[in-house]
Chains A and B, each alone.
Chain A
Amino acid sequence: SQQGEEDPQALSIQEGENATMNCSYKTSINNLQWYRQNSGRGLVHLILIRSNEREKHSGRLRVTLDTSKKSSSLLITASRAADTASYFCAPDTGRRALTFGSGTRLQVQP
């Protein structure tokens, strides 16, 4: 499968803590994207990191990419209850369509 595999499947933390989610993939990529899904809603694009980038920041989000290990991580710093959602990675392998895994369910306890 060309989809990303997120790890862990579920994560529960306290408000103010950092949350780290990981993504592994199998083939070479053009870029890798992270999406967020609130319960019962559609996915929302968070951040894109290109294959020649190693790290990217957006607000409280930090994404790293290691193409030699075919892995990426998403770090959410100083988490808030509103960050409770599922997070998905989507490696872009050049196919017409992205593929998505099962995601990491993040629960931030107030």
Chain B
Amino acid sequence: EVKLLESGGGLVQPGGSMRLSCAASGFTFTDFYMYWIRQPAGKAPEWLGFIRNKANGYTTEYNPSVKGRFTISRDNTQNMLYLQMNTLRAEDTATYYCARSSLYWGQGVMVTVSS
């Protein structure tokens, strides 16, 4: 059974940093692209980016809205996906999801950027 479990969310001040983690299980982690998506309360999801699989060199793609501030990485020995978020703004407040393709999403973790 595919499982994705995000962690690391919470309250952070504007300008601060936060790293989200996603523990993956139930599939061969290195075979799959992994995604981060966020969703502000009451709004549509926003795709943040992905990191490719082993066959495609684990390269990354980002939404221009977060490129340069957010970094996606993976630890293939631990089956972990990460989202490093820097210079956070109030508009980054959202529920953050990791996903394996479109089909499998985690339950999400909330990030609140506020002073």
Indicate, yes or no, whether A interacts with B: no
Instruction: Give the interface of A toward B (CB within 8 A).
Output: none
